[in-house]
Every structure is written in C-alpha cells, then in structure tokens.
Structure 1
C-alpha cells in the first residue's frame, strides 16, 4: 500500500478506534460519576503513578525500538516478549510488597488491597505488548479497534453493575482489570504471531541501548505527570483529588481523540521517512497544524461552557471541579504538540537527547511545585499551565534543529489557530451571557453554544483560507 494511502487508512481506523473506545468510556464515566462519589475516584487516582511506573519499567522502551527497527525478525519480537513478561512479574511482586507503604503515604488503608489487585494489569498487558507493537508497526489500527471495543463494553457493563450494587471503588478496580484481561486474550486470538523459545542477548542489547534512555525519560514523565496527583492526594483531600481526576479526564477526552490518534500514526510514519528530513519537516508541520486546528477550539469552547457541561453530565455534586477543568483545558492545548516534537528525536535515534530534555523539564516542574504548593490547589494548576508552555519551547528548541523547524517558526504556524480559537471563545462567552432564557436549561446552552462556536471558528478559518482547513476538507473527501 502506498505510504500516503496507508497513512490515511491509519488515521481513519485510529480515529474510529479512538472515538469508539473513548466514546464508550466517556458514557461509562458519566454513569459511574453519577453512581459513585468523588472520593472513590480519588482513591484510584492515588495509585495511578505506580501503574505508570510499572508499565514503563515493564516495557523498557523496547516497543518503540521495534517500531523504528527496519525489518525486525522473530528473534527480535521473541526477545522483547520474554523481557516484557519477566519484567511484568517482577514489577507486580515489587508493587505487591510495597502496597502497605503506599497506603501509609496517602493514609488510606484500603489502598493495600486496591493496589495488589489493580496491578495485575501489568501481567495481562505484558502478554500482548508485542502483538500490539506489531499491529502498530504495520499501522493496522482496524484490528486494534475490533479488539478494544468489545473488551471495553463487557468490562464497562460489569463496572456499572457493581457500582449500582454498592461496591463503590471496587467497581472501578474490577472494570479496569477485566478490560485488560479481555484485551490480552483477544490480541492472542487475532494476532498471527506467536513467540519462539529464543532470547538473543545481542538483539536485547541493541533494543535495550535505544530503550534505556526512553525508559528513564518515561519514568521521569510518569513521575512528574502524576506529581500533581501525588501532591493533591498527600496535602489535600481525596475528594479534591477526585475533582481533579474527573476534570483532567474530561479534558483528556478531546486531547486523546484528536492528538493521541494522530500520535499513534505519526511515530511509525515518521520512522518510515526518518532519512528524508525535508519531507519529515513538511509532514510534521501539516500534522501539527491539523492537531492544533482541532484541539484548541474544542478545549477553549469546553472551558467556556464548563458549568452547564459538568452539571448536565455529572450532576451538581461535581460543580466544584469546574474551575479545575477550565485551567486544565488551557494546559492541554500544547500537550499533543510536545509529544510530536519528542517523536522526532526518537525516530532519529536521539533518545539520549530525549532523556536530557526530560530531565530539564522535570527540574522545572520540581521548582514550580515547590513554590506553588504553599499557595493552594489552584496555584498548582496554574503552575501546570506555565510548565506546559515552557516545555513547548524546550522541546522545539532542540527537535527543530534536526528538521530545520525552529521554535519561532513553529510558534508562527500555531499562533493563528490558537488566536482564532481564543477570539471565538470570547464571542461564545458573550453569547452565553446574553441568553438568559436558557440559563436554567443546560442542554440548550450546550447545543446553542457549540453551534455558535463551531460556526464562528470553522467559518472564519474557511474565509481566512487557513491551510489546516483545506487539509481537513481533503481528508474528509478522500474518506
């Protein structure tokens, strides 16, 4: 299949998978949020960092190494499979033993049993990690969609039933565990690949050398991505952490459905053209503008309409999360762009520079956290916005050198889209103030507001002949 057609197919099926999975997850989260209390979401959020650390150590960056390796053979895949499996068992054992310490840190005894059960996901995911990598390398996102959606539907049904039956936080734990188990089983059933009883030390060293820096970077990323969860969980209440967790999850909905979708396609795409820097820059610029074109207005409009959105979807008990959500929406605009810049370094084999940049950014986060924690939870959230902006300039400063696409040039390309989204967001805010008859009807405010915002933004971008508008129209026509 020609590269262009393969990319379009990958984007289409990844969007289908992401919108299907996230759409179902979104509906399930609404139902669970109505059935459960904020504190119960906060309890699960407390162990998120340990899940993240375990996942990074288990894989060791070897999956990305396989994707960027040209023509990996059976020895490559089998070696990585057995490393992942052994790593997952070791990680589970360590977390099992550390569960009492985790519970003591957050002063929540129930976290002992939650942690020991939830972290079985490590082992389930390890069994299918290579199958997922092979499908991603081939840009076969269609198969992944038909695996994830049935697993999600079944596990969600179990979770909702348990929540309705009064199992509380355990409904969230079992839902995640069942989903991971069903996905792992299906990847084995659908995949044509099976491991051979081989382990090549030479192959392992090659992948490990590349993956080591990514592992260290991944650990730093997980640690500091969850730093806000740790700080809120430690110094504030579980209920406040629950508000933060729901606000962040709702913010991530458009980011994942747009940014992460293209992220899944861009890494193997960038890897396939890594030797042609001119083409790499051209493709990267198009994808970056397309992502911001879609993500920026979505997050800004959601921030403007946050109050009716939360009340309509989650009920009044979640309204304290609205200001958290509005701040996090600003934070999320540059999130996918930062990821794409780092993908450039990975596909060019500069995982050493990737690690160096992560250390610099994490040092910045430590400083911001140390200063802001003394001024309350909102200071922490505003600090996350500041670090997101600084991360953009740090990433583009270095990755831009390799493809001749400087931070200033990227900023000039992105500014018109973000600026237009802000202007349309201000118009939407004024419009929402001027419809008093709809104040008591959240659904009416959401529908009218969304319509006005979309007409304003997409109509203006079309009249201004923005390049991303033309690219989106062409993409839709081709499908």
Structure 2
C-alpha cells in the first residue's frame, strides 16, 4: 500500500509538474517573443549583467533551508518559523548591502545606468524572502498542483506588465518590472495555498539542527548560481552589452527547454527519494525509472530545439537576434543532459550527502571559470563549446557517487540513457537532411517539427519503450477519470 501510495504521489507530482512547467514555458515563450521583438539585445544585456548578483543574493536569503526542511524526518511549526524570520532578516540585510554596492557594480561593467536599475532589480530577492517557508511547506508536502496553479496568475500579470512597458518605450525597465511582478504575485499565491503562518516568536534554535546540512546546500547553490551565470558576468566585462544580450537570449530559450524537464523532476525527486532513502534496492529502482523518464523527454526536446533554432529565432523574434542561433544550438547539447545532472544531485541530497553535492559543484565551477578564461581569446563560441563539453563529461563524476550510494552499474546507467540520446540524435539528423531543400522558413519549421515528432514517437513504439507505454497509460487513465 505504501509503495502504491508513493508511486501515485510521484506520478501525480510529475503530471502536475509537467502541466505547471508546460504552461509556464508556453507563456514565457509567448511573452518572450513579444518582448524580444520590442526590445534590443542591449536591453536584455543590461538586466543580464545583474543576474549573477540577484541569484546569489536569493540563494543566501534561502540558505538551503528549503531542502533541509524537506529532508527533515520530523518537523514542527518552530522549524518553519525560524526559517521564515531568518530568510526575511537576511533578505533585508542583503538588499541594503547591494543597494549601497550599486555604484561599484556599475563601475565594474562601465555602465552608469546600472545604478538605479540594480537598486530596483534587487528588490526581487527581498520580496521572495517573505515566502521561503511557505514554498518549503508546499515542496515538502508534494503540493505540486498548488504550485502549478500559483504560477499562472504570476506569469500572466508579469508578462502583460512587461509588454505594456515595452510598448511605452521603457526598454530594460520593462524586463526588470516584469520580474518583480512575477515574484510578488507567486509569493502571494504561496501564502494563499500554504496553511502555515508565521508567528512573532523569534527562536532561531531549530536552525542549528539543520545548519550542518543546509550550509552545504547554501555553499553549493552559490557556486551553482555562479556556474550558471558566469558567462553573463565575464562577457559583460569583456564585451559590449549587445553581446551579453545575444547570450542572455540564447540561454533563456535553452533554459526554458531544459527547465521544463528539470522542473518536473525537481518537483518530486528529492522528497520521494528521501522517503525511501533507507531502502537501497528500492531507491535504485525508483531512480532508474526517473532516469529513463528524464532521458525519454530531455533528448528529443533539446536536440529538437537545436534543430529548429534558425527558423524559430527568425520567425519569432526576427533577424536582429540571428546571432544568438549558434549559441543556442551549442547550449542545447548541454541542455539535453542538464536534467540528468539535476536528478543525480537530487539523489545525493536525498541520501543526506550534501557535502558531496557541495564539493562536486564547487570543483566543476572552479574548472569552468578557468577553461572559460583560457578559451576567451578564441571567442564566445569556443567559450560556450568548452563549457558545454566540460559539463557533459562531468556526468561521469556524478555517476561515481551515484554508484557508491545505490550500486548502479555503468552498464545500467548507459542502458537508461544512451538509447534515448541515440535515437533522438539520429531522428534530428535525418530530419535535417530531409528538410534541407525546403526554402520557406515556415514550411521548414513545420516539417521539422512533424517529422521529428513522428519519427521519435514511432521508433519508440516499434522499440516497445516501457516508459512511453507508461506515460500514455497514465495520461489515458487521467482522461478516463476526468470523464
């Protein structure tokens, strides 16, 4: 019964995680197209230069306590309350520090206009600090459906705000305001859906129990944000805002694609794997099924995005953004493997080994910075290529720790990943050559989408893919239940 209940919770979590991320990416796609048509690469570059500061500050105010709360066996009101007040006070302190540091940030990038923009953008992590505990409550209790519903009004309001401001020629201020409206709206929704409420009992003792675990998550997440945003910081220093804008735009589309799958996995993986962390065989079985599910979706999605990138960029955000196409295609290769890295890190965390997660992320982050700076003289494409290859190869390091924790053999790992990667790659290559003679961009895009989708799903059916069968069976049962 317990196993059936966990399986049902996992399936529901993935289902609602898929709906949530699907709606989110669709709305981001629509609003992103409108904004990219109205704004310039330099506008995106201005906001992109600040991303590394906002994400690191947001990570500091959260301090890894969301994951720590999810991993805690027994939890109380005092645990959530301590996290709430710590997050709020830390968020306020960090905002004051960065508010005063805005002139130094502007001086680093040699962009005086960043001073007021930075002080406005940094309000985002201050606002988000008020809902850290509520978000943790929803995450721990696998309330994926509620989080999915919360995103809809946030995306609609923020996207509409961004477009209205862009239409009134407010340039990068529209992008910044869009972000703040999204954060404020989704935090209000988290308060609404979470039954937990803070009290004015400032007792931080529960944090001591969680700190040894959460501190490692905190350090890891800081380096993770540095890893994810180091390009914007380095390019912003070495190149013009326009170049940062091209990278930011390409990275945005790549992230939208990979985060659709990563978001589904993140919504359930760590809480589910934590619940069965004492049963090594069962955890391996669950992990392998998640690995196959991730590979089944990730490789065709990201290889497909690389395939349609030229037509997609040209038709949606116009020729002024075509320089971001090769950047996007390179990033998509790494983006296909990114959800697998996410799944591996969730398993490590579920085993309580936050130190492994921390050092793994720190080392890869340090190596990335070194190789990026070495590759700089050969241009931005070489920098991104080296970055992508390095991250793909680093999966073998993650595998070493996965094998040590749950005994997963390399043969079974390859068996769960390579068939999906190989079939998706061959389908995309065949589709490319079959559509190479078509001159119309619209017809090329439609042909690529149809041929690639039919080819991949058809081969999976002929190969009798169990994951595809299970997905279709679950979706079919959902429809039957709905009737």
Larger CA deviation: 50-59 vs 144-153: 144-153
Question: How many residues end up aligned between the 2 structures?
Answer: 475
1:383 aligns with 2:386: yes
Report the CA distance between 1:286 and its aligned residue. Answer: 0.9
Q: Which residue number in structure 1 is paired with residue 209 of structure 2?
A: 206
Q: Which of 42, 46, 50 is matched with 1:47 structurally?
A: 50
Q: Which moved more, 1:136-145 or 1:159-168?
A: 136-145
Superposed CA offset, 1:167-186 (max 9, x none): 01000111111221122223
Would the aligned equivalents of 1:76 and 1:200 in 2 still touch at CA under 8 Å? Answer: no
The CA distance in 1 between the partners of 2:411 and 2:235, in whole Å, is 35
Alignment partners' CA distance in 1, 2:343 and 2:223 = 18
TM-score under structure 1 normalisation?
A: 0.96
1:86-134 CA deviation, whole Å, 9 max, x = no partner?
A: 1100111111111111111111111111110111111211111111111
- In structure 2, distance between residues paired with 1:192 and 1:389: 41
Equivalence for 2:469: 470
1:455 alignment partner in structure 2: 454
Q: Distance in 2 between matches of 1:155 and 1:355?
A: 34
Q: Which residue of 2 aligns with 1:398?
A: 401
Is this contact kept in 1: 2:55–2:225, CA < 8 A?
Answer: yes
Report whether the alignment pairs 1:90 with 2:93: yes
Shift of 1:293: 1.2
Paired residues of 1:342 and 1:399 also in contact (CA < 8 A): no
Distance in 1, Cα, partners of 2:391 & 2:446: 31
The alignment status of 1:350 with 2:349, answered yes or no, reads no
Tell me by how many angstroms 1:199 deviates.
3.8
What is the alpha-carbon distance in structure 2 between the residues aligned to residue 385 and residue 408 of structure 1? 24
Residues 415, 116 of structure 1: alpha-carbon distance in 2 compared, 3 angstrom cutoff? same
Q: Offset of 1:408 from its aligned partner?
A: 5.0
CA distance in 2, matches of 1:211, 1:161: 40
The equivalent residue for 1:294 is 297
Deviation for aligned residue 1:466: 2.8
Moved more, 148-157 or 76-85: 148-157
TM-score under structure 2 normalisation? 0.95
SS in 2 for 1:71: coil
CA drift of 1:407 comes to 4.4
Instruction: Indicate whether 1:112 and 2:111 are aligned.
Output: no
SS of 2:464's equivalent in the other structure is coil
Q: Distance in 1 between matches of 2:164 and 2:204?
A: 48
Query: How big is each residue's C-alpha offset from its partner over 1:169-223, in whole Å with a ceiling of 9 and x where there is no partner?
Result: 0001111112211222232233321112234443111111110111111111111
Structure 1: gaps spanning 5 or more residues:
none
CA distance in 1 between counterparts of 2:189 and 2:425 reads 44
- The partner residue of 1:147 within 150, 153, 160 is 150
2:195 equivalent among 192, 197, 200:
192
Partners in 2 of 1:279 and 1:377 — Cα distance?
45
How far apart, in 1, do the equivalents of 2:394 and 2:97 lie? 32
Contact 1:75 1:199 in 2 (8 A): no
What residue is the counterpart of 2:429 in the other structure? 426
Gaps of at least 5 residues in structure 2 are 479-483
Structure 2 CA distance for aligned equivalents of residues 353 and 193 of structure 1: 32
Contact in 2 for aligned 1:74/1:196 (Cα 8 Å): no
Deviation at 1:21, TM superposition (A): 1.9
Q: Distance in 2 between matches of 1:65 and 1:29?
A: 34
The equivalent of 2:251 in structure 1 is: 248
SS at the partner of 1:72? coil
Report the more deviating stretch, 80-89 or 14-23. Answer: 14-23
Spell out the pairing of 1:58-457 with structure 2 (5 A cutoff): 58-407=61-410, 409-435=412-438, 439-440=439-440, 442-457=441-456
